[in-house]
Structures are given as C-alpha cells and as structure tokens.
Structure 1
Amino acid sequence: MATRAKALRLAAVLTTCVLTASCGLFGGSSNGGAADMERNVIRIGVLQVVDVAPLRIALTEKLFEKAGLQVTLVNQPSEAEAIKQLDATLDLTWATHVSLFRAVAEGTELQLQGEAYQAGPNSMALVTSATSDYDDPGKKQSPTIAVPSEADIGALTTRAVLDTAAVEKQKIKFRSMPFAEMEGALTSGTVDAAFMIEPFITKAQRKIGAKILTDTARGPTLDFPMSGYASSKKFAETNPKTLKVFRDVLRDAQQRAQANKLSVQDSLTSYADVDQPTAALVSVGTFPLSLNPIRLQRVADMMDTEDVLSGRLDVQQLLPPGTTN
C-alpha cells in the first residue's frame, strides 16, 4: 500500500509539473525560452517613418513582451546619428540600407538583423509645389532637388529615375535638409522638387497641395529594398540568442503589418505626427519577412554603379551566421 501511495504521489507531482511547465523536465519554460537569452532589454533607434510601423504594432500587441524581451524605441534625429549611437545608447537601429552600407564601407562593423521595408507605388517620390510647372521628370536638365543627404537613398534613387528621363546625373543639384523643412523649400521655390517618403509625401499633399512629379520606385528602382535593422558586429557576437528572438518577433510583426495595411496606417497616428484622415491616405509598401541577400545585394550593387561606394560590397558577409534568406 505504501508503495502504491508513493507512486500516486509521484504521478500527481509529474502531472502538475507538465501542466505548469515549471519543473523544466523537457528543457522548456513558460516565457518561450527567454531565460536562454544573454539579455532581455534592448533599445532600438527609430525615425518617424512608415517603415517602423511593425515595431509599434509589436509593442502594442505585446509580441516582444510575450517573447521575454523588453524593447524601448528611441527617436533619433537622423540615420547617421542613430548608427553612431550603436553600442553607446542603442543596441539596434533602423536605417535605410544605403546608409547602413555606406557606414560599413567607411569602416563601421555592422550586422544586419532584419529588413524593414520595400518600396511600393508612391511610397517614395519626387514631389513639387502646387504651383510648379515642373510636371515631367525630363523637363528640367539641371533641377535642384531637396534630399535628406546627398549620399542617401533619396539621392541614389533620384539619380537612377532622372537618368531614365535623359537628365544627366552630373547636372542634378542636391540640397540637403530634413524632411520637415522640405515643404517650406518647395513653397518658396528654393528647390524645384523634393525627395520624400511616407508619411511626408501625404502630409505635403494635404498641407501645401504638393504634387508627385515621379515615383522613385520605378524602372531600375521598382520594388526597391528601402530599409532595415542593424546592430554592431560586437553586439551581435555577444548576444546571438537575444537577436534571434528579436528577428523572430520582427518576422511576426512584419507578417501582421503586411496582412493588415489598415493597422499600419492607424499606427502612424501614435508616432508620426499625422492625423487619422492623413494616415488613411498614406501609401504603404511591402514589409519583408526575412533577410534576402539577393534582394539586398541589388542595393549595394546600385551604390557601386553610382559611385556611392568605392567598390562592391558583399552583403552576405553582413548577415547573421546561418541566415541565407
């Protein structure tokens, strides 16, 4: 009888153990393996762009929290500044692939952790003022174009698109300024056109009646890979499990954003300084679900062709070990 009583007690303990997953019999845990991570707190640099909407959705729906990660999004004044803050005040950052690849070419050791955004119709474009007569990309042979930086995705794609309109790249005059200043530059006539991304395009259309001169995701830049997330190589080497969890949650968030563009537009009102009517008109591109070296190599090769890089960059070398697509 004593033996049978012991057996019953053991069975009860085992049953409780399985139901609560608290005994660790099978190496599992109730927090999805968070205990195995090197750290469970990360800070990510972001800008107020559509690209980062999935991160906002992930926070709202507590996807990071469920995976055992505490994520803080930190607004940055620019991509260049965000990249500089890696290993200082930031663990990861969002930036355009062009900015990330330029940083690598200049000696910054980075590892890509995810793709953020791929261009769709009018998700990036050259826009003009309401009264401008600049109504065809080939109409001006030496246009003055506002861009955030003369060496970023705006300048790169502007050259490519205007080249197809028979405008000589050397004759394009770029003027660097933040997106927030471009509406004023258009209205005053300081520039002929401005390279903008969403939600700045829609905001300019509604506020000053801006017109789209040309989509900059067309021809050689159709479906252009726009941006992604990166950490320093040092952080990646010391926190591979943490970053694997980040990539898994990011994939889930990207998938949700891709399946529900309305949720993306709605999320903009919480961080991008746009009202609901404006957000509802914002053009939304594609949110990739994985790191694709072939897709990303396209950006690096265009940068090489346009002499933004001094030589060909092998993007495969920037991916986490074992990541092939």
Structure 2
Amino acid sequence: MKVIGPAFALVALLFASTGCGLFQSADSPQPPPPERTTLRVGVATPIDTAPLRIAAASGKFREAGLNVELVDLGTDDGVAKLTSGRVDVTFASDVSLFRAAAAGTALQLQGEAYTSGDNTIALVTLPGSDYREPTSKKSPKIAVDRTDDVGALTARSVLATAGVDPAKVRLQASPFSQMPEVLQSGGADAAVMVEPFITQAEKELGAQILADGSSGATLDFPASGYAATGAFAAANPRTLAAFRRVLTQAQLAAADPATVRDALPSFSDIDATTAALISLGSYPTTLSATRLQRVADLMHSSGQIPNRLDVQAMLPVENQP
C-alpha cells in the first residue's frame, strides 16, 4: 500500500477545506476605485496642516490612488472656496466651519487637523505694558485676527474665566503679522496670537504671555479641521474615505513632534530655529463628535451661533452611531 506523506496530506487537507478557493481568489472582485483620482484640498496655517502637507510631499496619497493638489488659501475664506467649487476639501478653523453649518451650509467633516496645547494660542503683551494681569483692566482692548473666529472665542472665554465681563472685552481685527505694531502703538492692550507668531514676538520683542489660551473652557481646544460639502461627500464617498485613511496615518506620524519641526521650514517661512522653539499642540487621529461639540456649544453659549449645532450629524457615515 502506498503511504501518503505528511506534506501531501496537508495539501490535500487544504484543498478539501477550501475547494477551488485558492484559484478563485485571483478572480475575486476588487474593491471599486475612488470616484475620482484628483482631489483639490485647500490648506492654510502651516503648523495646523503640517501632517497633510508632509503626506502629500512624500507621495502617501498617490499610493492610495489619489492625486492631491494643495491649494494655498492664504487669507481667503476656505469655506467660500469650498462652496464655490474651487476646492473639493478645505482646511478651516472649527469655528468657521460650525458658523457656516449653523447658517445652513451642508458640510461633512473629513478630519480634525489640530488641537491647541500649552501656549499654542495666548494673550500676549509687550515689555512695559501696564496690562499685567487679565483682570487689571475692566474693558481691555484685544487684537484678534478675526472678530468672529477662534481668537475672539478664546479671548472672551479666557478673560471670563479670570473674572472679566466678556461683554466688556473690546475686540479689534488685526493680521497676526501686524499685532506687534498694534501693541507698540497702544492700539490694543493685548493680542491673541498663535504660533509661530508668539515665539517670534518673544524672540524679537521680548513679548510676554498674559494668559494661556488653552486653559479653562478652551483647554486642549479643537482648533481646526477639514471638510467637504454635503453634496460632494454624497457623490464621492470612496474618494473621501481614501483621503481620510491617509490623513489618519499622517496625523499618527505627527505624534512625534520632531516630524513636524523638521518639516516646517520646507513648506513655510518658519526657520529651523523658530521651528525648534514653538509650542506645539496635538494632531487628532479620529473624528470625535464629543470633542468637537465643545466648540459648537461654546459658540452657542457665547452668542456666536443662535441655536445649538449637532456636530454628530456632520460626520461621515462610519462615524455615525
């Protein structure tokens, strides 16, 4: 009698258990490709968008079948470019995204970009200022980049926590780059700055931090994110799912601060010395309705939006309960 060897027996067992599946696997249907291969993504603040920029430059999106074209927003309104069709996905502050949603713009969030950390946003004064404590002025003049964005929300929240009546805080709009001049001229008592402007003002002018903007109700506050219109999201779910997968991996890589600090000089005017000194926040790897609802609720309680916004409804299907 012929004896069947153990190796042959194993092969026979595999065939018996899988049938012809070993040969059929090559013919099994592949997942459908993205609806489109090119995605125009609006980007702004280099620190907030660092992971996305690094991933695009290193070809991570191309590996996922996407040609991501980065569109520098500059001072333009990302939501306006998004709704006009000039970009497919846009970066924006969470405050501006939720303000647009509250006004009726259908948006689907694609990822959180950046969360504030210690002194990544702060009320700043210059040496010699008579504004030394948040409560030393009952009606302080505060320079913010926009009177309806995250700087204004942060200023009122931090000062209110310190004991200042937020209704008496006087806000005035000024570009970050001009805030030192506004402070020097006495046009404002303090300015709400973000990095790298905080570090630059400290190095060049001896600026001082009056109050950390990431404190109290705005501690570890969600700062910015990425969104598409509801219509674009409905028409391109696979494209955006691929975008989110790569973004998640990019945000994971940015957990190492050195990754961000080393890359910043390559796509911004932040020099290596400043990049090494700036305070960095964190780069979320998940879309959290609970975390983002903090922003919408603070906007509502402070009067920036008239009704409470349901952030959960703005998340992609896989993030729905």
Asked if these proteins are the same fold (TM beyond 0.5), I'd say: yes
Q: Return 146-155 or 266-275, whichever deviates more.
A: 266-275
1:293 is aligned to 2:289: yes
Report the Cα distance in structure 2 between the residues aligned to 1:89 and 1:182, rounded to whole angstroms. 31
| Residues 272, 208 of structure 1: alpha-carbon distance in 2 compared, 3 angstrom cutoff | farther
1:104 is aligned to 2:101: yes
Q: How does 1:151-300 map to 2 (within 5 A)?
A: 151-258=148-255, 260-300=256-296
1:95 is displaced (CA, Å) by 0.8
Partner residue of 2:311? 315
Aligned residue identity for 1:263:
T
Report if aligned partners of 1:203, 1:274 keep a CA contact under 8 Å in 2.
no
Report the Cα distance in structure 1 between the residues aligned to 2:97 and 2:75, rounded to whole angstroms. 12
Aligned residue identity for 1:65:
R
Report if aligned partners of 2:313, 2:320 keep a CA contact under 8 Å in 1.
no
Partner residue of 2:28? 26
Secondary structure at 1:85 match in 2: helix
Report if aligned partners of 1:127, 1:195 keep a CA contact under 8 Å in 2.
yes
Report if aligned partners of 1:96, 1:153 keep a CA contact under 8 Å in 2.
yes
1:261 is displaced (CA, Å) by 0.4
Report the Cα distance in structure 2 between the residues aligned to 1:88 and 1:295, rounded to whole angstroms. 29
Q: How does 1:64-143 map to 2 (within 5 A)?
A: 64-78=61-75, 81-86=77-82, 87-143=84-140
Deviations 1:248-292 (A, max 9, x none): 00000000001x101111222123311111110011111111100
Report the Cα distance in structure 2 between the residues aligned to 1:41 and 1:150, rounded to whole angstroms. 35
Normalising by structure 1, what TM-score?
0.87
1:69 is displaced (CA, Å) by 0.9
Report the Cα distance in structure 2 between the residues aligned to 1:183 and 1:77, rounded to whole angstroms. 20
Report the Cα distance in structure 1 between the residues aligned to 2:299 and 2:187, rounded to whole angstroms. 28
Report the Cα distance in structure 2 between the residues aligned to 1:24 and 1:230, rounded to whole angstroms. 37
Report the Cα distance in structure 2 between the residues aligned to 1:162 and 1:250, rounded to whole angstroms. 35
Aligned residue identity for 2:36:
R
Deviations 1:60-88 (A, max 9, x none): 32211111111121111336x21101142
Aligned residue identity for 1:278:
T
| Residues 138, 90 of structure 1: alpha-carbon distance in 2 compared, 3 angstrom cutoff | same
Percent identity, please: 47
Deviations 1:122-154 (A, max 9, x none): 111111123323221111111111111111111
1:24 is displaced (CA, Å) by 5.6
Secondary structure at 2:36 match in 1: coil
Runs of 4+ residues over 4 Å off in structure 1: none
Secondary structure at 1:107 match in 2: coil
Normalising by structure 2, what TM-score?
0.88
Report the Cα distance in structure 2 between the residues aligned to 1:273 and 1:198, rounded to whole angstroms. 12
Partner residue of 1:148? 145
Partner residue of 1:56? 53
Deviations 1:173-207 (A, max 9, x none): 10012212212212222111111111221122222
Higher alpha-carbon Rg: 2
